[in-house]
């Protein structure tokens, strides 16, 4: 098979994968992850379940791919903020504020999506871990630039990034955000962000 034919097959396969993921996400959002079956996804697309299984071995695998796609969107947002021409402190602030708002908009306002994320955290932890590692790398780069500019105190940016992530986790983790949203005895978004940025300067 020549390169052109292989490329055509790759494009066709990717188009089918995208169609399946789009349909799955639409049904997961409407009916919930637990109530949607592979047969439902196939019916929505006008194809047989066997055709779905040509691309994904199970509903779990479909969910993993969807989770990866959602996290890729979140990562791209973080990547774009990391490269903005503003101070390190402001980039860190924007990152947390944006991720917090994304959690509110995408994962809490639509509870069926929240269910998808909870299931991903419980079952597909390696997908989440890979995302966390990539985001930690971005944050470490921002902190390293802040140190070089004299904005932050001398410290190990890798360790600082992990601590920054742990300290702001309650603003970005869907389950924690859901649990703390209505509580009045928790630090506000601004209070927590100001606190962790001050810690980097000491």
Confidence (pTM) = 0.80
What CATH number is attached to the domain comprising 196?
1.10.357.10
Do 120 and 148 sit in the same domain of this protein? yes
Whether 2 and 78 share a structural domain: no
Tokens representing 4 are 């052109």
Residue holding tokens 């637990």? 34
For residues 38 and 104, state if they share a domain.
no
Domain C-terminal end among 57, 76, 92: 57
Please indicate, yes or no, whether residues 18 and 97 belong to a single structural domain of this protein. no
- Per the structure, how many domains does the chain have? 2
Taking CA atoms, 53 is separated from 22, 24, 39, in Å, by: 16, 13, 10
Q: What is the pLDDT of residue 119?
A: 74
C-alpha 174/C-alpha 191 separation (Å) is 19
Per-residue pLDDT of the chain (202 residues; tens, 9 = 90+): 555 555 666 777 889 999 999 999 999 888 888 899 999 999 999 999 999 999 999 998 998 898 888 889 889 999 999 999 999 999 999 999 999 888 887 665 556 666 777 777 777 668 888 889 999 999 999 999 999 999 999 999 999 999 999 999 888 877 677 677 777 788 888 999 999 999 999 8
Task: Give the span between the Cα atoms of 72 and 79, in whole angstroms.
Answer: 10
Residues 6+ apart with CB under 8 A from 89: 146, 151, 197, 200
Q: Are residues 48 and 74 part of one domain?
A: no
Q: State how far the Cα of 100 lies from the Cα of 184, in Å rounded to an integer.
A: 17
Residue 104: the pLDDT is 80
To the nearest 10°, report the CA torsion of 84, 88, 91, 93.
-170
Domain stops at, among 16, 32, 57:
57
Is residue 95 located within the same domain as residue 137? Answer: yes
pLDDT of amino acid 124:
60
DSSP-assigned letters across all residues of the chain: --HHHHHHHHHHHHHHHHHHHHHHHHHHHHH-TTT--HHHHHHHHTS-HHHHTTT-SSHHHHHHHHHHHHHHHHHHHHHHHHTSSS-HHHHHHHHHHHHHHHIIIIIISSHHHHHHHHHHHHH-HHHHHHHHHHHHHHHHHHHHHHHHTTSS-S--HHHHHHHHHHHTHHHH-HHHHHHHTT-SSS--HHHHHHHHHHHHH-
Domain span holding position 45: 1-57
Same domain, 37 and 135: no
Both tokens assigned to 1: 């098979």
CATH of the domain at 38: 1.10.10.60
Whether residue 146 sits in one domain with residue 79: yes
As a whole number of Å, the end-to-end CA separation of the chain is 62
| Same-domain status, 24 and 117 | no
Using one digit for the tens of pLDDT, what is the confidence trace for 131-145?
A: 899 999 999 999 999
One domain for residues 17 and 51: yes
Give dist(CA 149, CA 170) in Å, integer.
29
- Looking at the fold, whether 34 and 90 belong to one and the same domain comes out as no
Q: What is the pLDDT of residue 53?
A: 94
Q: Do both 143 and 68 map to the same domain? A: yes
């Amino acid at each position: 098979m020549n390169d052109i034919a292989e490329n055509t097959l790759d494009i066709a396969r990717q188009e089918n994968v995208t169609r399946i993921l789009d349909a799955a996400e639409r049904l997961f959002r409407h009916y919930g992850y637990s109530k949607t079956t592979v047969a439902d996804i196939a019916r929505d697309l006008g194809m047989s379940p066997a055709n779905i299984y040509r691309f994904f071995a199970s509903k779990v695998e479909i969910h993993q791919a969807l989770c990866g796609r959602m996290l890729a969107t979140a990562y791209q947002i973080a990547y774009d903020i990391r490269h903005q021409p503003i101070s390190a402190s402001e980039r860190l602030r924007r990152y947390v504020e944006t991720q917090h708002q994304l959690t509110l908009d995408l994962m809490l306002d639509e509870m069926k999506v929240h269910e998808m994320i909870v299931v991903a955290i419980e079952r597909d932890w390696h997908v989440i871990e890979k995302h966390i590692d990539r985001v930690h790398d971005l944050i470490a780069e921002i902190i390293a630039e802040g140190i070089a500019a004299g904005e932050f105190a001398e410290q190990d940016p890798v360790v600082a990034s992990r601590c920054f992530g742990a300290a702001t986790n309650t603003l970005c983790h869907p389950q924690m955000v859901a649990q703390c949203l209505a509580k009045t005895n928790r630090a506000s978004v601004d209070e927590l962000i100001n606190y962790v940025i001050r810690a980097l300067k000491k």
